[in-house]
């Protein structure tokens, strides 16, 4: 039950390695966790639990596919080219475009996978837009949980002084995931 709560990143990684070795050796491991990255890294089969009920089950990839939501994210080198990059991405998008001017990032939901990404790169290049980063992003398990439940994964603040619940500061409830 939440074996990595309170561990620093180095010790968390070490414990993940031990768990992976146990599973590779044939041990069945039942893991409950609020840390969805942990479930994504370690679990072969994931059950999403909300208010004490299993609401979804599958592999990480199956759950992410259920949610959908591929998106192209581009970080433009020159902030002055952000408007043109937004215009380009809007032409490929299947929904609203998000712009974060402070990070020079433009994000748009898409369908079409890697083939579409290549087309976006060609169009940005044709318009003379230099980019620092570009990627096709899939939903995270956090995205899956929020999509399925309508709220973030959270847990009740423990009286042992745990400084920050897994869902982030100020979150309190007992919902979460069970990963096998």
Domain holding 113: CATH number?
3.30.70.100
- The alpha carbon torsion through 101, 106, 108, 110 (nearest 10 deg) reads -170
Helix axes 141-149, 60-67, angle to 10 degrees: 50
**Tens-digit pLDDT profile for residues 147-173:** 888 876 654 333 334 433 333 333 223
**Tens-digit pLDDT profile for residues 3-15:** 999 999 999 999 9
Whether 171 is in a domain gets the answer: yes
Yes or no: say if 82 and 104 are a contact pair by the CB < 8 Å rule.
Answer: yes
At 113, the pLDDT band (50, 70, 90 cuts) reads confident
Whether 143 is in a domain gets the answer: no
Read off the pTM. 0.62
27 and 56, same domain (yes or no) = yes
Q: Could you give the CA distance from residue 149 to residue 172 in angstroms, rounded to a whole number?
A: 15
């Amino acid at each position: 039950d939440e074996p990595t709560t309170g561990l620093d990143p180095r010790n968390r990684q070490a414990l993940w390695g031990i768990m992976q070795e146990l599973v590779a050796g044939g041990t069945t491991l039942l893991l409950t966790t609020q840390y969805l990255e942990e479930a994504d890294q370690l679990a072969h089969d994931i059950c999403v639990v909300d208010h004490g009920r299993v609401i979804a089950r599958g592999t990480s990839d199956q759950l992410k596919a259920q949610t959908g939501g591929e998106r192209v994210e581009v970080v433009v080198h020159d902030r002055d080219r952000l408007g043109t990059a937004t215009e380009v991405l809007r032409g490929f998008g299947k929904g609203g475009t998000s712009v974060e001017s402070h990070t020079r990032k433009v994000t748009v939901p898409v369908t079409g996978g890697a083939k579409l990404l290549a087309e976006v790169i060609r169009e940005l290049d044709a318009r003379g837009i230099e980019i620092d980063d570009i990627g096709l992003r899939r939903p995270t398990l956090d995205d899956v949980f929020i999509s399925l439940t309508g709220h973030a994964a959270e847990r009740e603040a423990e009286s042992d002084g745990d400084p920050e619940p897994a869902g982030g500061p100020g979150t309190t409830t007992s919902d979460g995931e069970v990963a096998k």
